[in-house]
Structure 1
């Protein structure tokens, strides 16, 4: 999945702040809002494949803007993100959601897991028996990326209106999936922590069939009712 420093099969949960203003931002940041959503005006909607193609540059720019780093790092991250997105967009059932007000504020994308065939290169050997059965029944959805500003990762992660939660819930609901699944680099603790704060958990069943070592960890998300 995508969480801004991720590799091909890791999650991109974007938006670390860097640069000279970071300390000032932390010092002056208001206390997190615990009542109604301060971002309820953000509209979440799907894009068609053609609309995704038309807005690729905008999506790439948004990824770069939320990933932090210097301009060279932005360009590197932007290019890698667009290559991953283009590859996933060719998969059957691919879906991309955007959140926007007067400008783009977030996106999430993925595709349904199929019962057979190489539906996601790199997943072979990582799925437990229960997850394979979910895939066979069409009830498993691969969440490839969640791209959101850093405030979404830092604040109100447990609130239903948190933008990352809204995006991931809508992906599963739109496809009738009972579970979401993603792979995260085993060394990427920051991404795992962000996902867990949004309700994801590390898969733990059928561990005898899963590799004890390897580059990735499997995380799953139950659809919120």
Structure 2
């Protein structure tokens, strides 16, 4: 999607995030606003890209941008909970297709994502979609950072 298309669909993207957040219902609104703030900030990064899956309504999205060393950081993958739980290792899985599309469209062989170490559900989902743990603290991530780095390669 182009930047103007994203700007036109911000509320829809926020609603998609809220509908697919694995949080208590009372947290969805502020988490949706936080997602939109991150998205708008990241939208300004060189090489930013966002892909969506939609039939009539949006059903999923993923976005990222080039990162130093020839990597592409995938910042967010937003898909329904059933996608996280049903056949996550299959190539046709929506999350796998979205992340692969981002990498393929931008000529990157390896994706990078950062995940809170305590978010076991997100870590499990990402690992089931082909992400693997890195050793040590590569890519300039400080030792005390609460996130861990995961890589996705071809």
User: TM over 0.5: same fold?
Assistant: yes
Aligned length: 152
Question: Residues 57 and 211 (structure 1 numbering): CA distance in 2 closer, same or farther, change over 3 Å?
Answer: closer
The residue that corresponds to 1:62 in the other structure is 16
Kindly state the Cα deviation for residue 59 of structure 1 after the two structures are TM-superposed.
0.4
Q: Note if 1:110 corresponds to 2:73.
A: no
DSSP-derived class of the 1:58 partner: helix
The residue that corresponds to 2:35 in the other structure is 81
Query: How high is the TM-score relative to the length of structure 1?
Result: 0.64
DSSP-derived class of the 1:221 partner: strand
Which of 73, 89, 98 is residue 52 of structure 2 equivalent to?
98
Aligned counterparts of 1:107 and 1:214: Cα–Cα separation in 2: 26
Query: How high is the TM-score relative to the length of structure 2?
Result: 0.92
Question: Residues 66 and 177 (structure 1 numbering): CA distance in 2 closer, same or farther, change over 3 Å?
Answer: same
Kindly state the Cα deviation for residue 186 of structure 1 after the two structures are TM-superposed.
1.6
**RMSD after superposition:** 1.8
The residue that corresponds to 1:141 in the other structure is 72
Kindly state the Cα deviation for residue 69 of structure 1 after the two structures are TM-superposed.
2.7
Aligned counterparts of 1:77 and 1:211: Cα–Cα separation in 2: 25
- Which contiguous aligned blocks of 4+ residues in structure 1 show a shift greater than 4 angstroms? 209-213
Does structure 1 retain, via aligned residues, the 8 Å contact 2:137–2:143? no
Kindly state the Cα deviation for residue 193 of structure 1 after the two structures are TM-superposed.
0.7
Aligned counterparts of 1:98 and 1:210: Cα–Cα separation in 2: 29
The residue that corresponds to 1:22 in the other structure is none
Does structure 2 retain, via aligned residues, the 8 Å contact 1:97–1:171? yes
The residue that corresponds to 1:52 in the other structure is 6
The residue that corresponds to 2:147 in the other structure is 216
DSSP-derived class of the 2:135 partner: coil
Q: Which runs of 5+ in 2 are unaligned?
A: none
Q: Which has the higher contact order (CA 8 A, sep 6+)?
A: 1
